[in-house]
A and B are shown apart, each in its own frame.
Chain A
Amino acid sequence: MFTRRSAALAAAILLSSPALLGGASAADKPTDPQIAHIAYTAGVIDINAAKQAQKKAKNKDVKAFAEDMLRDHEAVNKQALALVKKLNVTPEDNDTSKALSKQASDKLAEFDKLSGAAFDKAYVANEVAYHKAVNGALETQLIPSAGNAELKSLLQTGLKIFQGHQQHAEHVAAELK
């Protein structure tokens, strides 16, 4: 239950970001420095979730999945940092990033109380929901709003990776049942 709720919440946070960011009409788009910050934050959140899973997961497929997430998201964020440096853009914190971080730290605290199979299940289910929400935001909002071509292209690569992660997570979730 909490998984569906958290996915809906993440989607709501991400999709409502024009309103959050601008406090104005839905036509307002996040700026490139804000998009960079949101994308980077989304990556950091999944890295932290993976680190928690590496400590707590019992199932070997779940452990391996967490390792894959850590490796890929670190690689994406490394590219993102190189790009913002190259473009001389300073990622700009914003309400969407803040809401995502707050939600993620609540989730870490919630999962910290779980152990064994209960943790494995909760982590993987949340990974499915989280990647789905991020992919939705990338597709409908972040990619269309990105002004810089290189940033757009990195987000598009990110979308393909995260879609892969979503499928991978769905597969692991199905195996746990």
Chain B
Amino acid sequence: MKPGHLASIALAVVLLSIVVPARAATIQITMENLVVSPAETSAKVGDTIEWINKDVFAHTATAKNGDFDVMLPPKKSATFVLNKAGTVDYYCRYHPNMKATLKVAP
């Protein structure tokens, strides 16, 4: 391999890391015994939220502002990719006493 190739690969790696500064993360939030934990989660736009329902009851993760309404059948999980910055309060439509907050940074 020519030295020039190595240099261009190195440059590409550097450029790539500038274009994609951080890998999008998957953040897990559990629902167990009617409690959402953690109740407050910080994340970034592009991150995936994975809600894990450990209950034998169906739940939802429903944003108060209408941004998302994710169904969580008993003992199942579901995901949502954050596409907007801001603070979103969400709750379970079936058990509105289950409440939590997502803080989404740009």
Contact = CB atoms under 8 A, between A and B. Distances in A.
Interface of A: 68, 71-72, 75-76, 78-79, 157, 160-161, 163-165, 167-168, 171
B95 A165 contact: yes
A67 B33 CA distance: 20
B33 A157 contact: yes
Given A68-B58, A79-B56, A164-B98, 19 more contacts: A71-B57, A72-B94, A75-B56, A75-B74, A157-B33, A157-B34, A160-B33, A160-B35, A160-B97, A164-B34, A164-B92, A164-B94, A164-B95, A164-B96, A164-B97, A165-B95, A167-B97, A168-B93, A171-B96
Interface string B62-96: 00000000000010000000000000000011111
Dominant secondary structure of chain B at its interface with chain A: loop
Given A157-B33, A160-B33, A160-B34, A167 B57 contact: no
Interface residues of B, number: 14
A76 B33 CA distance: 11
Most chain A beta-carbon contacts within 10 A, residue among B35, B56, B58: B56
Dominant secondary structure of chain A at its interface with chain B: helix
Contacts of B74: 75
Interface string B36-80: 000000000000000000001110000000000000001000000
Contact of A78 (B56, B58, B92): B56
B58 A160 contact: no
A72 B94 CA distance: 9
A4 B50 CA distance: 42
Interface of B: 33-35, 56-58, 74, 92-98
B31 to A, nearest CB: 11
Which 8 A-B pairs have CB atoms at the shortest separation, nearest pair first? A164-B95, A160-B34, A167-B96, A164-B97, A75-B56, A157-B33, A68-B94, A163-B97
Contacts of A167: 95-97
A168 B97 CA distance: 9
A68 B98 CA distance: 15
A72 B60 CA distance: 13
A175 to B, nearest CB: 13
A81 to B, nearest CB: 12
Contacts of B33: 157, 160
B28 to A, nearest CB: 21
Nearest to A171: B96
B95 to A, nearest CB: 3
